[in-house]
């Protein structure tokens, strides 16, 4: 029985081939986009007929830099607001028992379940009545609402696995609820907060549908600028923007992996 179990746990050649094929399918578009960003062609063409940096010079102009900075600013603000709003909600639905807990949990996850186009039309209609369309505040509020489910999901498992005995011990030793959260709960959940903030940032930065409806030219985000460009002229500068996004995502992933490895090393050292 043990030998059969061990055999099932060992990866087979077929599993390895499937894993490689899936990875290649996922990575292929990125491997195509990067060389296209250096192409001499005036539209999308692969393989590139030649290589130059003209599209990178075009990217570093106000026409593209302003939407990029807008996206970064909106994503940072919305991820912070999302953490402040979603953290109490995550504590409520994961650590409290009350009659409407499941109903509240489903309602908080609705922005992820409802199609983006429906959410966009809803925000456009409501924000139009209160003057928030085509404003930074409106875009931040919309991105915050759609990012709440992401934070709830990222925080669910860490909250359930948190050792409540440590919190009880702090209270027994005379700590207040605030002190317990600051010195016990918060340090234990810090990695979960970092991961949740990262996912909220990416979710906001990548949002295109809602931004198309409620943002203006002055408040345009990078996904909206890319969408407009591909519809109008298929400008290869889109490949440059995509290359920077890939590089940023890889940088963050490497940083998170290093943070996790250092944290595990500190645990082993203790």
Let me know whether 167 and 86 are in one domain.
Answer: yes
Query: 119 and 13, same structural domain?
Result: no
Q: Which residue has the tokens 């940072």?
A: 76
State the 10-residue block means of pLDDT for the chain, 270 residues long.
52 79 81 80 76 82 86 92 89 76 80 86 89 88 90 84 80 81 83 86 86 84 83 77 81 75 62
Residue 49 belongs to some domain of the structure: no
pLDDT at 6: 54
Instruction: State residue 44's pLDDT score.
Output: 74
Residue 92 lies in a domain: yes
Q: Which residues contact 40 (CB under 8 A, 6 or more apart)?
A: 48, 49, 50, 51, 52, 54
Q: Considering the domain boundaries, does residue 43 fall inside one? A: no
8 exposure class (CB count in 10 Å sphere: 0-12, 13-18, 19+): exposed
In a domain? residue 41: no
Does the residue 52 lie in any domain?
no
| Residue 29 sits in the same domain as residue 90 | no
pLDDT at 34: 82
State residue 227's pLDDT score: 82
Q: Are residues 13 and 80 in the same domain?
A: no
Q: What is the pLDDT of residue 73?
A: 92
Co-location of 22 and 125 in the same domain: no
Residue 46 included in any domain = no
- Let me know whether 180 and 250 are in one domain: yes
Q: What is the DSSP string of 143-194?
A: HHHHHHHHHHHHHHHHHHHS-HHHHHHHHHTT--HHHHIIIIIHHHHHHHHH
25 and 143 assigned to the same domain: no
Please tell me whether residues 71 and 197 are part of one structural domain: yes
Cα end-to-end distance, the chain, whole Å: 38
- Give dist(CA 145, CA 204) in Å, integer: 10
Q: Give the range of the structural domain holding residue 20, as residue numbers without chain letter.
A: 2-36
* Domain shared by 26 and 136, yes or no: no
Overall domain count for the chain: 2
75 neighbors 201 (Cβ within 8 angstroms) = yes
Shared domain for 6 and 132, answered yes or no, is no
The pLDDT value given to residue 82 = 92
Q: Are residues 183 and 87 in the same domain?
A: yes
Same domain, 134 and 11: no
In order of 70, 90, 107, 121, 145, the CA distances from 82 in angstroms are 18, 11, 16, 21, 8
Contact present, 56 and 238 (Cβ < 8 Å)? no
Give domain status of residue 247, yes or no. Answer: yes
264 in a structural domain:
yes
Can you say whether the dihedral through the CA atoms of 181, 195, 142, 92 is positive or negative? negative
CATH number for the domain harbouring residue 212: 1.10.3720.10
């Amino acid at each position: 029985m043990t030998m059969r179990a061990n055999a099932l746990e060992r990866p087979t050649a077929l599993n390895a081939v499937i894993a490689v094929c899936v990875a290649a399918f996922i990575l292929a578009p990125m491997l195509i986009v990067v060389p296209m960003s250096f192409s001499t062609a005036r539209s999308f063409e692969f393989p590139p007929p030649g290589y130059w940096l003209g599209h990178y010079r075009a990217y570093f102009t106000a026409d593209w830099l302003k939407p990029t900075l807008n996206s970064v600013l909106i994503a940072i603000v919305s991820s912070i607001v999302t953490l402040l709003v979603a953290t109490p909600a995550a504590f409520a639905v994961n650590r409290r028992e009350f009659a409407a807990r499941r109903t509240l949990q489903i309602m908080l996850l609705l922005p992820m379940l409802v199609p983006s186009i429906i959410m966009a039309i809803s925000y456009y209609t409501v924000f139009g009545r209160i003057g928030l369309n085509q404003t930074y505040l409106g875009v931040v509020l919309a991105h915050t609402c759609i990012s709440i489910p992401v934070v709830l999901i990222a925080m669910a498992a860490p909250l359930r696995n948190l050792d409540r005995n440590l919190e009880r011990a702090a209270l027994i030793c005379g700590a207040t609820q605030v002190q317990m959260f600051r010195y016990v709960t918060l340090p234990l959940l810090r990695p979960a907060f970092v991961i949740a903030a990262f996912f909220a940032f990416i979710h906001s930065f990548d949002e295109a549908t809602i931004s198309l409806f409620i943002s203006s030219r002055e408040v345009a985000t990078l996904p909206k600028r890319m969408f407009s460009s591909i519809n109008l002229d298929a400008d290869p500068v889109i490949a440059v923007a995509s290359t920077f996004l890939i590089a940023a995502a890889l940088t963050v992933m490497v940083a998170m992996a290093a943070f996790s490895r250092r944290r595990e090393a500190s645990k082993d050292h203790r």
